[in-house]
Each structure stands twice: as C-alpha cells, then as structure tokens.
Amino acid sequence: MQDRISNHPNRWVLTPVTGETDTYDFTRADDPTQTGTPLNKATFLPDATVTNIETVTGASGVSLPCDALDAIVNALDTMGLTRNAKISYGTWTGTGSGASRSFTFNWTPYIVIATKTNYAFSGGDSANSGADSFMWLNGQTSTGPRTFTLSGTKLTWKYTNSAYQQRENLNESGVAYSIIGVCLK
C-alpha cells in the first residue's frame, strides 16, 4: 500500500450546495504528488480474496477482514500448525512418605520417562531392577507392578503391594529424581 503524499495536506475546498443551508461539498485541494492506495473494500478484502479464503479454509460468510483472519487462524489450528509439542523436564527430592507420587505438566504428557538421577534407566517393569525408573506412554494404566493415572496434565504413579513402596514410587527419602515428558498442548 502507498500513503498519500501532497504538497498541502488537509487542504479542502468547501463549496456551498445550492438551495441548502449550511451544507457544503468537500473537495480535496491538497495537490497530491502521490495519490496513495484508496481505503476501500477492493484494497482491504476484495471478492477474489474472500473466494480464495473460503475455498481453501472451508469457511463461509467471510465478509470483513476480521472474518478472514479468523478463518485463516482456525484453519491453521485445525492443520496443527499451532499445536506444538513440548519437552518438559523436572526434578524432585524424595520425601519417603506417601502412598503415591505425581508430577503435573503444563500440557498433556504422551511419553514420560522418570528415573533416579544419576542412575541407569532400567525400564520399570520389575519389582527389583526396574524399581527406580519407569517409562510411561499415554493410555497405559500400568507397567508391570506400577499403576498410572492421568488426570488432566497430572500423572500419578502408585505401587502399593511391595515392601519397597517408596523406592517403587520414586520417592525414597533424600534421593534425587528426574522426569522428562513429551507433551502436546
């Protein structure tokens, strides 16, 4: 778009309308050197653009520029271009107390790996070798002896039948743990 450039900005000629009282026609008298792009439908949202947006996005009733922007944003969201995955990372120090342990992510976790920090990841399926770590995939309610509950973005894991509950819950007193999650908005 181009601005209007003139030698006498805001200069107008007022011509009285014949037969009317206090009524005038305004005529620009600013002596433009560049007339600029007109501010009208053809420059803001021409019919061809409306047709193109409605055809590509499937939207209907696009009339105003804001309608066009909404249609485009909605289409992008549907296509997943604004639905980003995120890696979340966290830690905690075990308290040695409680029947379960949980971690709340910002977004919905789909893959979660948790382990005792500075400790080899061992899969989490065994009451012994896997006691200090686990990998969880969205939808799983248990991996071996450990049960999982996803409530919103909060993942809770619980182990109740072992003599080593706090170890299984990744909550041994004073022990450092790490967790990483692949999350979707």
Partner 1 sequence: MTRFIEINALENGAHDNFTTTDEIETPDGWVIIPDDMEVPLSFPFVTFHYRKGVVTDMSPLPIPAPEPPNDEPDPNEILNALLGVTE
Nearest of 174, 180, 140 to residue 157 by alpha carbon: 140
Q: Per this entry, what is the length of the chain? A: 185
Q: Does 163 bind partner 1 (CB under 8 A)?
A: yes
Shortest Å distance, C-beta 105 to partner 1: 6
Best CA proximity match to 133, nearest among 87, 172, 173: 172
Element (DSSP H or E) covering residue 68: helix 65-79
Options 17-25, 36-44, 53-61, 138-146: segment touching partner 1 (CB under 8 A): 138-146
Q: Does 48 bind partner 1 (CB under 8 A)?
A: no
Verify binding: residue 165, partner 1, rule CB under 8 A.
Answer: yes
117 binds partner 1 (CB under 8 A): no
- Nearer residue to partner 1 within complex by CB, 75 or 180: 180
Contact between 91 and partner 1 by CB under 8 A: the answer reads yes
Containing 70, the helix (H) or strand (E) segment is helix 65-79
Count, residues near partner 1 per rule CB under 8 A? 31
Place of tokens 């949202």: 45
Give the Cα separation of 102 and 105 in Å (integer): 10
Q: Is 92 in the site for partner 1 (CB under 8 A)?
A: yes
Site of interaction with partner 1 (CB under 8 A): 87-98, 103-106, 125-128, 142-145, 161-165, 173-174
